[in-house]
Chains A and B, each alone.
Chain A
Amino acid sequence: DGGITQSPKYLFRKEGQNVTLSCEQNLNHDAMYWYRQDPGQGLRLIYYSQIVNDFQKGDIAEGYSVSREKKESFPLTVTSAQKNPTAFYLCASSARDRDTGELFFGEGSRLTVL
């Protein structure tokens, strides 16, 4: 079935370590996104990419990095520069040629810094 796969589902990190969250989609969507969600709050955009080899910063990009070398993949690296990385991370995709296209989400990755 088509969809978005995020891994790992749960991740623990020591302070000072970089971690990479994986996001793969087989929906043939051009656009992909990373959101951060803190407890009881809404989603905040970290980075987004509308086409391969191109991406833009969202509202809270500091301390994060991404790459978009393949259409299917949009990994997110949480660097040691991110001061408060403990959160729930959601990857999403949408059809770029449809402005009205809704976001399709993965099941999320929960990162905890020890």
Chain B
Amino acid sequence: AQKITQTQPGMFVQEKEAVTLDCTYDTSDPSYGLFWYKQPSSGEMIFLIYQGSYDQQNATEGRYSLNFQKARKSANLVISASQLGDSAMYFCAMRGFRTNAGKSTFGDGTTLTVKP
């Protein structure tokens, strides 16, 4: 079984500041991948960033970075220099590569609001 926990239902950040969205996970798979997706109010899901469980370095994609702490089972998303267009719901997800191969499990999401 695998589980994703996002403990922040809502977050506020001032434009141009950085924000961290929390994600913890649990899995029985020895190898797995962690993903973050963004869902604007339109409803579409947009892939942001990926981290493999055996990756030595934290993933980065433009203004997005993933703070991966394997021992603590956490995979927090850091958004730097927030923009008004970053206001959306953010989901952490994981996919196990052995017993849960093919199944992605999502957290309940965090709603981020960027203030001008």
Show the binding face of A for B, using Cβ within 8 Å: 31, 33, 35, 40-45, 48, 50, 56, 58, 88, 90, 92, 96, 99-100, 102-108, 110
Contact = CB atoms under 8 A, between A and B. Distances in A.
Given A40-B9, A96-B102, A102-B50, 16 more contacts: A31-B102, A41-B109, A42-B91, A44-B106, A45-B103, A45-B104, A48-B102, A90-B43, A90-B45, A92-B45, A100-B33, A100-B50, A102-B35, A105-B45, A107-B43, A110-B43
A29 to B, nearest CB: 12
B106 A43 contact: yes
B95 A99 contact: yes
Contacts of B102: 31, 48, 50, 56, 96
A56 to B, nearest CB: 8
B38 to A, nearest CB: 11
B107 A42 contact: yes
Contacts of A45: 103-105
Interface of B: 4, 6, 9, 33, 35, 37, 42-47, 50, 52, 91, 93, 95, 97, 101-109
A105 B44 contact: yes
B50 A43 contact: no
29 contacts: A31-B102, A33-B104, A41-B108, A41-B109, A42-B6, A42-B91, A42-B107, A42-B108, A42-B109, A43-B91, A43-B106, A44-B106, A45-B104, A48-B103, A50-B102, A90-B43, A92-B45, A96-B102, A99-B97, A99-B101, A100-B33, A102-B50, A103-B37, A103-B45, A103-B47, A104-B47, A107-B43, A108-B43, A108-B44
B103 A42 contact: no
Q: Which of B52, B104, B107 has the most CB of A within 10 A?
A: B104
